[in-house]
Amino acid sequence: MGCGEQSAAAERLWLRRAVVLTMDPARPAASAIGIAGGRILAVGDDEEVAVAIGPGAAVVDCAGGSVVPGFIDPHVHLLALARSLSSIDLSPPAVDSIAGLVAALRAGRRAAAGTAWLRGHGYDDALLAERRHPTRWDLDAVAVDRPIRIRHRTRHASVLNGAAIDWIRARAPDLLLASGVERRARDQAPTGVFYELEREITALVPKPSAAEALAALGEASDLLLGAGVTAIDDVSASTGAAEANLLRAAVGTGRVRQRLRLFWGAEGSDPPAAVDVVGIKLMLDEQAEPGSAFIPRLEAAHRRGFQIAVHAVEGSAIAIAVAAFEHALGRWPRPHRHRIEHGALCPPPLMDRLARLGLTVVTQPAFIAHAGERYADLVAPSERRWLYPLRTFARRGVSVAASSDAPVGPVAPLAGVAAAMHRRTRGGRPLNPTEALPFEAALGLYTRAAARACASEETHGAIMRGRVADLVVLDRDLTRVPAVEIDAARIRLVVVGGHPVKPGALGDRGPVIHRAVA
């Protein structure tokens, strides 16, 4: 196929013999899609679409596999995901003990020789056999001559080895006096475990060059594309001007191929007009006090017309956010797409207020499988009922979208779709099975509802005439496989803005694309 033919193929596509799940209530199912000029031209049966698209279009034979709207992930940390790709994976179940963690770091050390920082991520103290965080002494068994930093799965704690603690002592000695620095009882020596000091530690670790950072962002984008993700919102508390400009450059140079919207995260500053952000990310944790800087920041962002995404995991934080939104929207009403990020534990009285305000909860169903054991242990039995209450949210009229929170959670939307349906932890324990969603509703979390969360429901999130042609072609009919097998489906082709991306490189075999004879 010559270059000219390839671009012509990208121009007009006829997907046929598919089980199309359109997410359009007016026409939920179809067998074919016609694409022209980056938009969906026709949705219907094979003959209808053949007539609409005309002769000469490139044909994709979907062989009975599902075609769904391109997945939209409204809560990703793209720079962190990119960094995680050059960091050693310490996540369970592969790493389930401190000895295993040390072995994984040693293997990573051999693979990346030198004296640069060695980085690891994803360990979970609750899922290690020892049920504790590793310490600097554990990590010193890996290397004493190069700094090591490993990050907890939640990204709320890091462990540093002796060389890394020395590095910090030489540059920011006061940081070692912070209250988040864990100390050994006997002599008050830092154990190497640092809680809630992620930003401070990151600021001291040498940064990759711009070229390295762009290349890593390209890898992160490819990883997401391979999982069918065609649009993302980056919602990172660390995003300031430098981060926003780097992410924009990654899109501008074609490294990041998804549609990308950015939220500003840097606390204590507002985005300059020159920086292209759509919204503001605000953090609220369990210790948040009503009356802190949070409320004036939320009101200012609302009045400036920004979309607001508030990190609020459980009831008390959600309640503070809801009260602040009630006040802001009551005093300065306007159309909005404001959001609660996570909302993992949400009792019903709050749901009614969320629904009334038209707030969207952007939650992470994959955590039911990924971290469900931990939640079930940590959350009081009386509250456990309201962990990821996806069905009750829907019944009470709360708009809910799903996201990966990558790199905290797995990037694959199908992992979240499956978990929203089966509601089992990785250990097989059911977590509020009455909150299980049927397939179409679970798929909607990453398509139609996610488009609304990203203020793009007019152009994305459904397969309808006139919409942007973002699609995922799967190797099987997802409506006919049990929930536990949903995430075993292979992605055969991703179409972004009408362009087939990496056919054949995704999954095992790409679909056949050939030129229609008639």
Closer CB to Zn ion, residue 237 or residue 516? 237
Evaluate the omega torsion of the peptide bond into residue 482 and state whether it is cis, within 30 degrees of 0. no
**Among residues 405 and 435, whose Cβ is nearest to Zn ion?**
405
Q: Report the nearest approach of Zn ion to the CB of residue 75 (Å).
A: 6
DSSP bridge pairs for 432? none
The pair of structure tokens assigned to 93 is 């179940």
Which residue's CB is nearer to Zn ion, number 24 or number 341? Answer: 341
The conformation of residue 512, written as its DSSP 8-state character, comes to: P
Tokens of 9: 């193929």
Helix pair 315-331, 294-303: axis angle to 10 deg: 40
Residue 493: closest CA among 64, 62, 73, 63: 62
Using CB atoms, what's the residue nearest to Zn ion?
405
Q: Which residue has the tokens 């996540």?
A: 91
Give first-to-last CA distance, the chain, whole Å.
18
CA–CA gap between residue 478 and residue 439 (Å, rounded) = 8
Provide the β-strand partners of residue 39: 36, 468
- State the minimum distance, in angstroms, from the CB of residue 411 to Zn ion: 13
CA–CA dist 431, 428 (Å, integer)? 9
The least CB distance from residue 339 to Zn ion, in Å, is 12
Q: Which is nearer to Zn ion, 22 or 360 (CB)?
A: 360
Q: How many angstroms separate the CA atoms of 354 and 348, rounded? A: 10
Indicate the burial class of 155 (C-beta count within 10 angstroms; 0-12, 13-18, 19 or more).
Answer: middle
d(CA 56, CA 169): 67
3-state SS, 156-218, equals CEEEECHHHHHHHHHHCHHHHHCCCEEECCCCCCEEEEEECCHHHHHHHCCCCCHHHHHHHHH
Q: C-beta of 418: minimal distance to Zn ion in Å?
A: 21
Least separation in angstroms between CB 424 and Zn ion: 23
| Angle 487-497-72 from CA coordinates, rounded to 5° | 40
- Cβ distance to Zn ion smaller for residue 138 or 405: 405
- Pairwise CA distance, residues 262 & 260, whole Å: 7
Taking the least distance from each CB to Zn ion, the nearer of 243 and 475 is 243
Residues that bind Zn ion (CB under 5 A): 405
Q: Minimum CB separation from Zn ion for residue 77, in Å?
A: 6
Separation of alpha carbons 208 and 159, rounded Å: 20
For the record, the structure tokens of 328 come out as: 């802001």
Determine the distance from the C-alpha atom of residue 513 to the mean position of all C-alpha atoms in its chain, rounded to a whole number. 31
Which uninterrupted H or E stretch holds 140? Answer: helix 136-140
CB-wise, 408 or 469, nearer to Zn ion? 408
Task: Give the residue from 320, 412, 312 showing the smallest Cα distance to 369.
Answer: 412
Q: Of 22 and 404, which has the nearer Cβ to Zn ion? A: 404
* Residue 124 or 405 having the CB closest to Zn ion: 405
Q: Which amino acid is at 361?
A: V
* Assigned token pair, 17: 């013999």
Report which residue type is found at 119.
R
Nearer to Zn ion, 362 or 441 (CB): 362
In the complex, least distance from residue 263 CB atom to Zn ion, rounded to whole angstroms: 10
Would you say 342 or 492 has its CB closer to Zn ion? 342
Q: 172 to each of 11, 135, 193, 243, 484, how far by Cα in Å? A: 55, 20, 16, 23, 49
Is the CB of 202 or the CB of 459 nearer to Zn ion? 202
